[in-house]
Amino acid sequence: MSTSSQARGARVAGALTTAVAAGLGLGLAELAAALVQPRTSPVSLVGAVTIDLTPPPVKDLVIGLLGTADKPFLIGCVLAGTLAITALIGSGLARTARWATIWIAAVGAIAILAALLRVAVAPSSLVAGLVLAAGGIGALRLLRAQLLRAQEEQADPAAIGGASRRRLLATGAGLGALGALAPLLGRALRPAPQVTPELVAVPEPEVQAPELPEGLDVEGISPLRTPADELYRIDTALVVPGYDPETWRLRIEGMVENPYEITLPELMAMPMVEHDATMLCVSNPVGGDLIGSVRFQGVRVRDLLARAVPLRGADQVLSTSVDGFTAGTPLEALTDDREALIAVAINGEPLSPEHGAPARLFTPGLYGYVGATKWLTTLSVGTYAEQVAYWTTRGWSAKGPVKTSARIDTPRGNGRAEPGADGRVAVAGVAWAVHRGVGAVQVQVDDGPWIDAELSEDVNADYWRQWVVRLELAPGEHVLAARAADASGELQSAEVAPPAPNGSQGYHRISVDVRG
């Protein structure tokens, strides 16, 4: 075998053994984090930093392509990137373990630093990083020793064989499997808080929402109410936070006369309100599905703020999630007559962990990034000048009012449209002008005149409306467009704009092939 082949084989063996060692360190660190403090997960912390550094256009592209699968994709990228760098550094392991050792120690130190900065300055923030470094370096030394012994047995260092080779392969496979299984073991062993029905049961609301009207009977149209398990999930949490109902607190602080904390039982004992409303993400593209309409139940934010008594000059409430995310909501939007809620239930059921349990903010008329903080822990009254929210520091608009828009649900874009028994094609969808109300929807065919659509019965100004228009279309390709106007008659903008920095806009247009 040539010298170059020998060297190449040694580099591959070093890369693989170093990657296995780092993988074990990461797996053990995830196990330790799950048992001590889940928020110190190294993979989650690196992913969170990645989200922080991602430019808005790239973020929108990823969400547009992957939707709610963006988080598993990001976790996979973090793991793959870390292991790839480790393998590259470890390719010289047969000569020296210095750089591989330094790299694994550095990854552990980065995990510790991130936990101290993003979670808490506490002993628990040290554990995962220390386990990562110790586990990874220990495995590296073991595997390197076996690698060198195996190579010494062979006249050709690239042809690792015999008992030492089998021992190395068995050790590497075992450590690799342990690294993969350790995070799963951590989730299984982590003690779950004792959640009693008395603590999380949703009480009967004092103010009940009217019964939802019948929606339009059109095949393919979005239902008038979105099932809770189909509601979109977009947030910055790579791992869904847990909570202990016994220790959960909501603190109201900042520019107030009477700062205070409220427990979960105290929150549940307050007067509850039901309200039907549409919620959507600012990353929703024109025609996108990062939107849903549900029945929220919770406590009015204005009641909580009235007890605290905001001081003169305050114009914002900065809400904070358990994972450190912040949203800045106009104080006026939380104290006017809209039903801004600390929600504890959706569609009559307690909030799921994915949607913010035990309590989340919801503010009608505002995109989620400024008015719908999940896993709520703090409401801090202040000013926009002094408190800058998470996405605002990354170039997004500070206040984020929802824009009027219409979406075509059926027929599907770039698909075939079948005329009904009456020879007409049903074009239908939903439209929203949250907190202003939908007044009209119109459809256009091939740049022709705009045609008024039939609207479903109005639920309230905060809820979307279904719409349908039945058209006689000639066989062949057609371009359909839809636009909406709010209750005052103001049309949505025709100017096309991306989601960043304050929400997408433009008419939803699709191409369809009408069969003869």
Residue by residue, DSSP assigns 453-509 as PEEPPP--TTS-EEEEEEE---SEEEEEEEEEEETT-PBPP-S-B-STTT--BS-EE
Q: In the structure, what pLDDT confidence band is assigned to residue 274 with cuts at 50, 70 and 90?
A: very high
Share of the chain above pLDDT 90, in %: 57
From CA 318, how far away is CA 315, in angstroms rounded? 10
Q: State which amino acid sits at residue 317.
A: V
For 184-209, what is the mean pLDDT? 74
Question: What pLDDT does residue 465 have?
Answer: 99
Reading the block at residue 446, the tokens are 């091939």
Angle at 270 between CA 264 and CA 273, to 5 degrees: 110
- Whether the pLDDT of residue 158 is over 60: the answer is no
From CA 20, how far away is CA 24, in angstroms rounded? 6
pLDDT tens digit sequence for 402-436: 999 999 999 998 888 889 889 999 999 999 999 99
Share of the chain above pLDDT 70, in %: 91
Q: Is 447 exposed, middle or buried (0-12, 13-18, 19+ CB in 10 A)?
A: exposed
From CA 330, how far away is CA 387, in angstroms rounded? 12
- Whether the pLDDT of residue 124 is over 90: the answer is no
Question: What pLDDT does residue 1 have?
Answer: 47
For 244-260, what is the mean pLDDT? 95
End-to-end CA distance of the chain: 69
DSSP state of 465: E
CA 425 to chain CA mean position, Å: 37
- Cβ neighbours, 10 Å, residue 145: 13
Question: What pLDDT does residue 67 have?
Answer: 65
For 26-37, what is the mean pLDDT? 89
- φ, ψ of residue 357 to 5 degrees: the values are -55, 140
From CA 305, how far away is CA 335, in angstroms rounded? 8
Specify whether the CB–CB gap between 90 and 107 falls below 8 A. Answer: no
- Cβ neighbours, 10 Å, residue 22: 29
Question: What pLDDT does residue 3 have?
Answer: 55
Specify whether the CB–CB gap between 513 and 416 falls below 8 A. Answer: yes
Lowest mean pLDDT among 240-244, 464-468, 486-490: 240-244
Q: Looking at domain 212-394, which CATH architecture does it have?
A: Alpha-Beta Complex (3.90)
From CA 252, how far away is CA 255, in angstroms rounded? 10
Radius of gyration for the chain, computed over Cα atoms and rounded to the nearest angstrom: 28
**Secondary structure element (H or E) that encloses residue 267, with its range:** helix 264-269
Question: What pLDDT does residue 272 have?
Answer: 97
- Whether the pLDDT of residue 448 is over 90: the answer is yes
For 165-171, what is the mean pLDDT? 81
pLDDT tens digit sequence for 47-83: 777 777 777 677 667 766 776 677 778 778 888 888 8
Question: What pLDDT does residue 192 have?
Answer: 55
Lowest mean pLDDT among 13-27, 89-103, 377-391: 89-103
Question: What pLDDT does residue 71 have?
Answer: 72
Q: Who wins on pLDDT, 53 or 179? A: 179
Question: What pLDDT does residue 436 have?
Answer: 98
Question: What pLDDT does residue 93 have?
Answer: 58
Domain pair 212-394 / 405-514, same fold: no
For 345-373, what is the mean pLDDT? 96
Q: Who wins on pLDDT, 364 or 422? A: 364
Q: Who wins on pLDDT, 311 or 97? A: 311
- Whether the pLDDT of residue 88 is over 90: the answer is no
Residue 444 β-bridge partners: 450, 481
Question: What pLDDT does residue 68 have?
Answer: 64
- For the chain, how many helices (H) and strands (E)? 12, 19
Q: Where are the domains of the chain?
A: 3-189, 212-394, 405-514
- Whether the pLDDT of residue 482 is over 60: the answer is yes
Q: In the structure, what pLDDT confidence band is assigned to residue 191 with cuts at 50, 70 and 90?
A: low
For 495-505, what is the mean pLDDT? 95
- Whether the pLDDT of residue 389 is over 60: the answer is yes
Question: What pLDDT does residue 197 have?
Answer: 46
- Whether the pLDDT of residue 194 is over 60: the answer is no
Q: Coil, strand or helix: which one is 354? A: helix
- φ, ψ of residue 219 to 5 degrees: the values are -65, 130
The residues near 313 (Cβ < 8 Å, ≥ 6 apart) are: 255, 383
Model-level pTM?
0.80
- Whether the pLDDT of residue 161 is over 80: the answer is no
Most confident option among 130-139, 187-196, 254-263, 408-417: 254-263
Q: In the structure, what pLDDT confidence band is assigned to residue 200 with cuts at 50, 70 and 90?
A: low
For 165-176, what is the mean pLDDT? 83
Range list of β-strands (E), 315-358: 316-321, 326-330, 341-346, 349-350
Lowest mean pLDDT among 100-104, 168-172, 366-370, 424-428: 168-172
From CA 368, how far away is CA 381, in angstroms rounded? 19
Q: Looking at domain 405-514, which CATH architecture does it have?
A: Sandwich (2.60)
Averaged pLDDT of the chain: 88
